[in-house]
Amino acid sequence: MKRILYNSLINWKASNRRKPLLLQGARQVGKTFLITEFGNNEYQNFIYFNFEQNPKLGLSFKNNLIPKNIIQNLSLYIGKKITPNNTLIFFDEIQTEPNVLKSLKYFYEQAPEYHIIAAGSLLGVSIGKNYSFPVGKVNFITMYPMSFIEYLMAMGEEFILQQYENFTKPTHFLEIIHGKLLKHLKMYMFLGGMPEVLYEYIQNKDIQMCREIQKEILEAYTRDFSKYADSSQAIKNSEIWNSIPYQLAKENKKFKYADINKNARAASYFTSIEWLNKAGLIHIIRNIKTPKLPLSGYADNSKFKIYLHDTGLLGAMLNIKPDLIIEPQTIFFEYNGAFTENFVANQLTTFTNKNLFYWTSKSDAEIDFIIQNNNKIYPVEVKSGLSRNKKSLLSYSEKYKPELIFRLSPRNYIKQNNFINIPLYAVNYFNTISFIYN
C-alpha cells in the first residue's frame, strides 16, 4: 500500500543537508514496512536491526560510540561488510537502547557517508526521559496512520484522486462521485488508517477480522503503558486512555478530569496526557481565547479536547457495530459527531503536522478548529449532517472579520461570498488553502 511519506524519504536521501533520520509515530502505523520498502527499492543494500527483538545488538553501543567501531561490530554480527553511500541502515525500536540514539550525533559528525534511519514506537516518550538527545544532529519525520487519501489509493481510486488533484483545489464534485466518496468516507471512519486493518479488508473484506485486529492493536498499546511507564503512571495512562471515547461522546467534548474519576486533578494526570501525546496516540486540541498570531501564544492550556489518532480504534473502543456503514448518515452523527470531528483532527494533523486549536465565545458559540495558514487565520466548523446552520461561524465572523469562513460537512462544495463548504472527504484542501482564492 502506497504511503505519501515515501516521497519525503526520497527527498531525505537526496538532500544536501541529510542527517541520520528519526522516524517517529505510534506503534503499528507502518514505520517498519515503509522503511523496509524504501531501503529495498532505493538502495543496493538494506540492513535491518531490531533492538527490541534482539537486545544483544545493544552491546555494539556499550561504552563505544565511535561510528567506525560500531559499523565494524555490526558487520561482524551480520557476517558481511557494511559499506557507506549505497547502503541503508535501519535501527528499529531504539527506545530499548538509549545509546543508539546518542550515537546518531557521532554518525552525523564523523561518518555522514552512512545513511541511517532510526525508529521506535515509543521514541517520543523515551526522548527527554533518560536519553541524551542529539540536538541539531538528526532530521525528523513523523508518521501517522494512513490518511483518507492513502486509503483511496489502496482501494484503487487513484483515477478519482488524479481527476480532483488529490483534493488540493476546490471544486464542485460530480454528484455520482460525491456519493461514492461519502461511502468510502464512512468505511474509512469505521476501519481507520492502521495498515494491517486496511490490508485485511482489501484482501478478504472481513469486517469482523478487521475489528479483531483493532482490538489486538489496542491491547498492544495497553501493554506498552506498563512496559514503558512506572506502575503509578501506567494506571493513569490507562485511565485517561479509556476515558477518551466517552469524553468525545459528550455534546461538549472539552476534556474533563472529573470524567476520569470525581477526585481526579490536572496536576496528577498532566504527565500521563503528555505521555500519550508523545507516544503518538492522541491529538490535543487547545482552546484559544483570541484568534491572533501566533495561535499558541493565545492558547488556554487548561481547556482542551483530546482525540484518538485513529477513528477505527475509536470505534473499536466504543464497540461501534458495522451495520452503521450501510446507513446513509448514521456514522457521522454517532456519539454526537465524535467520529466526524476525530476524523478531521486526524487528517489536519497528518497533512499540516501542526498543533491544532479551537475557539469558544463567552456565550455558546464554538468553532471546532482554528486554522493558521500563510499568516492568516480561518475558522472551520465541522458538521456531521446536512444542516445549514452557521450560527457559530457567523458569530465568529462578526467579531473577528476573517477573509474566509469554512464548514466541513457531508455536503458538496459550495462557495457563497466569504463562506465555503468543503466536503468532509476533501479536508486536504486546508493543506493548500491558497488555491481557494483562485
Note whether 254 and 260 are within 8 A (CB).
no
pLDDT of residue 128: 54
CATH number reported for the structural domain that contains residue 120 in this entry: 3.40.50.300
The model's pLDDT over 145-176, given as tens digits with 9 standing for 90+, comes to 999 999 999 999 999 999 999 898 889 999 99
Are both 164 and 131 inside the same structural domain? no
Question: Within this chain, do residues 105 and 159 fall inside the same structural domain, yes or no?
Answer: no
Are both 295 and 427 inside the same structural domain?
yes
Residues 205 and 186 grouped into a single domain: yes
Please give the biggest Cα pair distance in the chain. Answer: 70
The residue from 127, 142, 157 where one domain ends is 142
Cα separation, 376 vs 60, whole angstroms: 50
Query: pLDDT at residue 436 above 60?
Result: no
Q: Are strands 115-119 and 21-24 parallel, antiparallel or unpaired?
A: parallel
Could you tell me if 131 and 155 lie in one domain?
A: no
Confirm if 327 and 183 have CB atoms less than 8 A apart: no
- Domain region containing 306: 148-437
Instruction: Please tell me the total count of domains within the chain.
Output: 2
Per-residue pLDDT tens digits for 382-403: 998 766 678 899 999 999 999 9
Same domain, yes or no: 172 and 121: no
| 128 lies in the same domain as 27 | yes
Domain stops at, among 114, 142, 170? 142
Last-in-domain residue among 142, 158, 179: 142
Name residue 372's amino acid.
Q
Residues 6+ apart with CB under 8 A from 101: 22, 94, 118, 123, 126, 127, 131, 132, 133, 134
Q: What does the mean pLDDT of the chain come to?
A: 91
Cβ pair 157, 173 in contact under 8 A: no
Query: In the structure, what pLDDT confidence band is assigned to residue 130 with cuts at 50, 70 and 90?
Result: low
pTM confidence score: 0.92
The answer on 269 and 396 residing in a single domain is yes
259 and 405 co-located in one domain: yes
Q: Give the per-residue pLDDT at 437.
A: 40
> Do both 119 and 166 map to the same domain?
no
Whether residues 365 and 243 share a domain: the answer is yes
Kindly state whether residues 197 and 218 are assigned to the same domain: yes
Q: Which helix (DSSP H) or strand (DSSP E) does residue 271 occupy? A: helix 266-278
Please give the average per-residue pLDDT across 324-334, as a whole number. 71
Do 311 and 189 form a contact (C-beta atoms < 8 A)? yes
